[in-house]
Structure 1
Amino acid sequence: MNRLSRAELAALIEGLADLPYGGEAVDQRTHALQTAAHAVEAGADDELVVAAALHDIGRAGAVAVRHRGMPHEHAGAAFARERLTERIAWAIEQHVPAKRYLVAVDPDYHAGLSPVSVRSLRAQGGPMTPGEVAEFGAHPWATDAIALRRWDDAAKDPSGPVLPLDDLLDRYDRLSPEA
């Protein structure tokens, strides 16, 4: 693995500034750092906080170009498998299926989705089937993806909490190279 440097991670996050977030009230950078802030507030470990910050990294210019034609969650996961950890990659890849899972198992979840997220849910396949629910829920990291999804949904508030970039970078530095 060719681990990201601290400077490369900072450049990726900063490169999201002013990129629209599909009609939401925040840009991609704010959304990333808000998602990470929610992870910190929930007591997530450093690896999951980094995954939260990078869950939409497949939309970043350099990542999207390198993985052209892939849905953002798959492009982000491919990037993470090359430069980060398998757990981070899996959480990134599964944040979209986690939305489909939650719609299928939590009757109140759909009502809390933003209009943009409701529209994208249709394109993403709608609620999971019972078989998909069972398969997803059986994965040992399913709770990570579900938590990340809920932080993702909460991270669309222009006045919401934002994790300072230096805090994210410090958490990244604490990850062991084998993490």
Structure 2
Amino acid sequence: MSKHPVTNLTPANIVAFLEDIFERRGGEEYLGEPVTMAEHMLQGATLAERSGQDEIIIVAALLHDIGHFTSEFGTFSMEDTEDRHHEDAGADVLQAFFPTLVTDCVRFHVAAKRYLCATRSEYFARLSAASVHSLNLQGGPMSAQEVSAFETNPNLREIIAVRYLDDAGKHADMETPAFAHFAPMVQRVVDQHCGPTR
């Protein structure tokens, strides 16, 4: 059973549903990191906005870890011995309202970590202890066959961009705007995909 009801969601209320998750659950510890869950996702979105990324990338960075709150398996712990598949849980909630580019960035941000560990020798050294722990639960670096398959994704570049924003959003003292700052662009992305809600 999911921790949050995800029925009765519409293009008109999905953004409020997401904002409510940030407000109610965002203060929870992002285990193993010096930031809360909300701070982590807001930092990724803020870094994307500051670097002039397209709105769709900002939104993907903002929502990439939403599955930590919607996964039926609960949130990540450094004591975990099995993966909780938060990436699939998040993408499943978003897929009816967001374009494939956003849901791919959410669904494959874990795979992107495995991909980068396999293809960029310097990448593994950048990972936090929590990311290394979760990497081990998630299958470790990709095999050559997995790398080849992953590289066929048409949104590979954007998925990798969001992965780097994920890794960057872990600063204990970084100031960011609240979810409300990003809510209008989240709604624009929904409206572009589903049609205007007003």
Same topology, TM > 0.5: yes
Say if 2:57 is the partner of 1:43: no
Deviation at 1:147, TM superposition (A): 0.7
Task: Pick the aligned partner of 1:88 from 102, 124, 134.
Answer: 102
Q: Within 5 Å, give how 1:28-177 maps onto structure 2.
A: 28-60=37-69, 63-65=70-72, 71-175=85-189, 177=191
Deviation at 1:84, TM superposition (A): 2.7
Structure with higher helix content? 1
Q: Is the 8 A contact 2:45 2:62 kept in 1?
A: yes
Deviation at 1:17, TM superposition (A): 2.4
Q: Distance in 1 between matches of 2:107 and 2:157?
A: 14
Q: Distance in 1 between matches of 2:25 and 2:39?
A: 8
Q: Distance in 1 between matches of 2:73 and 2:124?
A: 33
Deviation at 1:176, TM superposition (A): 5.4
**Which structure has the greater CA radius of gyration?**
2
Q: Is the 8 A contact 2:97 2:190 kept in 1?
A: no
What's the TM-score once normalised by structure 2's chain length? 0.80
Q: Is the 8 A contact 2:98 2:189 kept in 1?
A: no
The 1:111–1:148 alpha-carbon spacing in structure 2 relative to 1, beyond 3 Å, is: same
Q: Is the 8 A contact 2:73 2:84 kept in 1?
A: no
Q: Any stretches of 5+ residues in structure 1 without a counterpart?
A: none
Task: Pick the aligned partner of 1:8 from 17, 25, 49.
Answer: 17
Q: Spell out structure 1 runs of 4+ moving beyond 4 A.
A: none
Q: CA RMSD in A?
A: 2.3
Amino acid paired to 1:109: Y
What's the TM-score once normalised by structure 1's chain length? 0.88
Residue of structure 1 in register with 2:77 after alignment: none
Q: Is the 8 A contact 1:9 1:169 kept in 2?
A: no
Deviation at 1:139, TM superposition (A): 1.2
Q: Distance in 2 between matches of 1:15 and 1:87?
A: 27
Q: Is the 8 A contact 1:35 1:154 kept in 2?
A: yes
Q: Is the 8 A contact 1:3 1:84 kept in 2?
A: no
Deviation at 1:89, TM superposition (A): 1.2
Provide the identity percentage.
34
Q: Which sits farther off after the overlay, 169-178 or 98-107? A: 169-178
Q: Any stretches of 5+ residues in structure 2 without a counterpart?
A: 1-8, 75-82, 194-198
